[in-house]
Every structure is written in C-alpha cells, then in structure tokens.
Amino acid sequence: MVSRSAQRFIRINFITIVVTLLVILAGGIVRSTGSGMGCPDWPKCFDRYIPPTDVSQLPANYKEKYVAGRIKKNEKFAKYLESMGKVELADSIRHDKSITLPEEFNAAKTWVEYVNRLTGVLAGIFLLLTAIYSFTYRKTAKRIIFLSILNIFVVGYQAWLGSIVVSTNLAQWVVTVHMLLAIVILAISIYTYNYAKQLSKAPSVIMYRILWLKGFLLFTVVLSIIQIVLGTEVRESVDVIAKSLSYGLRDTWISKVGSVFSYHRDLAILVVIANAIVYKMVIDRFSGKAAPLLTARFILITLLIQLLSGFALAYIAFPPAAQALHILFSTLLFSLQFYLYLLVYRTSTYRQ
C-alpha cells in the first residue's frame, strides 16, 4: 500500500521530469532560432523582469552597458578557471573578441529566450517541491532525500552556468557542459522517481537470464550520452558556420562541419543496432504489460522520431523545427533507456 504522501512525491517527481524535458525543448528552440543572446544579461532581461517589446524601451547606451557587464563577468569566470589550473582556457575567454561585439535588439528573439528562462524557473520550483516532499522517506529511504537535495545544488550550478553561457556569447564548450548538466538533473530525477515507485513493490523475478541485458542496457545508456555530446559539438560547429555565412546558404552548413558530423552520423547506426538488440532481449524476457516491455516500445518510437529529425537536419537544409525535436528526443531517448536500465537492474533470475 502506497501512502498518500508517497503518491504525492511520485507525482511531483514525475512532473519534474516532464518539466525538465520541456526546459530542454525550450533550449532547443532558443538554439534553433538563434535567440541565445536575446537577453544580453542574466537573470533579468535588459534589466527588466518583463522584457521590452521595442528598441525605444531600451537605454540609449544599452549595447555598451551589456558588453561591459559581460567582460566583467567573464573576467571573474577566467579567474575561477585559473584557480582550477585552466590557464589557457582562461586566456582564451579573456581574448575572445566575439564577447565585445554587441547583439542587435530583436523582440522575437528576446521573448523566445525569456520563455526559455521561465520554463527554467518552473523546473526549479518543481525540483524544490520534490526536495521538500522527499522528506516523506526520512525513515525508509534517505537516499531519495539526499539525491533530491543534491539536484537542487546541481540546478543552482546549472543556473550559474547559464549566466556564463550568456556572458561568454555562447562559448562552445560551456554550452556542452550546460547540456551534460541537464542530463545529470534528469538522471537524478528519474532515479528517485523509480526508486520511490519500487519501494512498495516486490522485486521482479523472471525465468530467463538477465545479466547480459543489464550490461547491454548500460552500454546503450553510455552510447546515448556520447552521441548527445557529439551532437552538441556538431551544433556548436554549425553555429559558427551559420554566423560566418550571415545565416544564409543553410543547405551548405552540414557539409562544412567536418569529421565530428561523420562521427555523429556513423555512431547513430550503432545506436540503432544496440537499441534493436535491447528490444529483442526485452521481448524475449518480458511479456504482456510489463513495464520494461512498454518502456522498450517507447524507446523504439523515440528512436524513430530522433532518426527522422536527424535526417531532416542533415539533408533538408537544417530546418529549425527539426533542431528542437532532435535535441528533445535525444534526451528523451536517454531518459527512457536509463529508466529501462533501472527497471531491469532490479529484476533477478529465478533459480530452482
């Protein structure tokens, strides 16, 4: 019997996962529309809680003001990197000329970025609620409390890094770390959600050997993380190329990316094969409406949409809608794989 407070935690935790995926979708829309610098300051937008809709609402010297603010923040960040021994990286940020170039005001891009930040705030609220309600398990599962509170700190660091993404004018490696932290937040939320659900259930036992499936599932999870990192690097390269071409000649962007795109494309083949093997192993071991089987089916659907959006990006002139979908479904694929791994990990093999 699941208590009402436990049901409430599970429900809030699930909503947190969904909202986190929405934040990733919003971030994908920001990237695909080139709205990352729509708000040149952080956490406010042009020093306002409600962004402007017209250039007349901005101070006369807004370009110089925000460039100076970015330079000041980047100097602090450079010192932080130096304290970690990253001297060359710190110097590259100090001497990055793109940081001194002001962004022209664009109301549409400003509001796209602003909505992205609002979804981030919403995710933060639900993560805080998850941490508060996690104390339901103070006597039965302290790890849920620990991980839920840890996620608050990770989100705090993620928010700070978001301000660095803005101040460094979307520095490539910072964007990649930003994406990886989003995956960490998702993974923690999925783990606490699954663990809370399984507390009231007896461990699953099946007749078939499960060890190979557990190991292969872990392999597919790691594969997806590598693929997400490569995809982020492809996107960063495309950003540079698009800017150099004044965002014209879209059909040539991918051809100019280089080897990292080839790695990303070729690894997609391995991802498809690995997930097909996982699905075959799952249907051999589970039947009916078993959660692992249903999750494996969702993985195949997600993978199909992911492939179609990737195909559109590579061969149909990089459409913005496909960019947002590709980012969303890559993280959704990871989420489902990780959840399936957790479900199978708790399953044991019946022995007479």
DSSP per residue over 202-227, as a string?
A: PPPEESS--HHHHHHHHHHHHHHHHH
pTM of the model: 0.87
Instruction: Judge whether 317 and 250 are in contact, CB under 8 Å.
Output: yes
Q: Hey, what amino acid is at 287?
A: S
Of the candidates 115, 122, 70, the residue with the CA atom closest to the CA atom of residue 96: 70
Given pLDDT bands bounded at 50, 70 and 90, which one contains residue 352? very low
Which letter, b or e, does each residue of 133-144 get, where b requires 16 or more Cβ atoms within 10 Å of its Cβ? bbebbeeebeeb
User: What is the predicted pLDDT for the residue at 226?
Assistant: 92
Q: Is the pLDDT of residue 32 over 60?
A: yes
Q: Is the pLDDT of residue 64 over 90?
A: no
State pLDDT tens for residues 69-81.
Answer: 777 777 787 887 7
Q: How far apart are alpha carbons 186 and 17 in whole angstroms?
A: 6
Lowest average pLDDT, out of 170-184, 190-204, 300-314, goes to: 170-184
Q: How far apart are alpha carbons 32 and 306 in whole angstroms?
A: 16
What DSSP state is assigned to residue 135? Answer: G
Q: Is the pLDDT of residue 136 over 90?
A: yes
Instruction: Judge whether 41 and 144 are in contact, CB under 8 Å.
Output: no
User: What is the predicted pLDDT for the residue at 232?
Assistant: 84
User: What is the predicted pLDDT for the residue at 84?
Assistant: 76
User: Rounded to the nearest 5°, which phi and psi values hold at 348?
Assistant: -120, 165
Percentage of the residues of the chain whose pLDDT score is greater than 70: 93
Higher pLDDT among residues 110 and 80, named by residue: 110
* CA distances to 71, 277, 285, 329, 331 from 308, in Å: 41, 20, 29, 11, 15
Beta bridge partners of 349: 206
User: Rounded to the nearest 5°, which phi and psi values hold at 225?
Assistant: -65, -45
Q: Is the pLDDT of residue 153 over 80?
A: yes
Q: Is the pLDDT of residue 170 over 60?
A: no
Mean pLDDT of the chain: 84
Q: Is the pLDDT of residue 1 over 70?
A: no
Given pLDDT bands bounded at 50, 70 and 90, which one contains residue 187? very high
Q: How far apart are alpha carbons 125 and 123 in whole angstroms?
A: 5
Taking residues 4-18, what's their average pLDDT? Answer: 94
Instruction: Judge whether 293 and 287 are in contact, CB under 8 Å.
Output: yes
Token pair for 100: 């001194």
Taking phi over 0 as left and psi of -120 to 50 as alpha, with beta for the rest, 224 belongs to alpha
User: What is the predicted pLDDT for the residue at 349?
Assistant: 66
Using a 10 angstrom Cβ sphere, with 0-12 exposed, 13-18 middle and 19 or more buried, the burial of residue 289 is exposed
Q: Is the pLDDT of residue 208 over 70?
A: no
Given pLDDT bands bounded at 50, 70 and 90, which one contains residue 239? confident
3-state secondary structure 8-64: HHHHHHHHHHHHHHHHHHHHHHHHHHCCCCCCCCCCCECCECCCCCCHHHCCCCHHH
Q: Is the pLDDT of residue 310 over 80?
A: yes
State pLDDT tens for residues 35-47.
Answer: 777 887 777 888 8
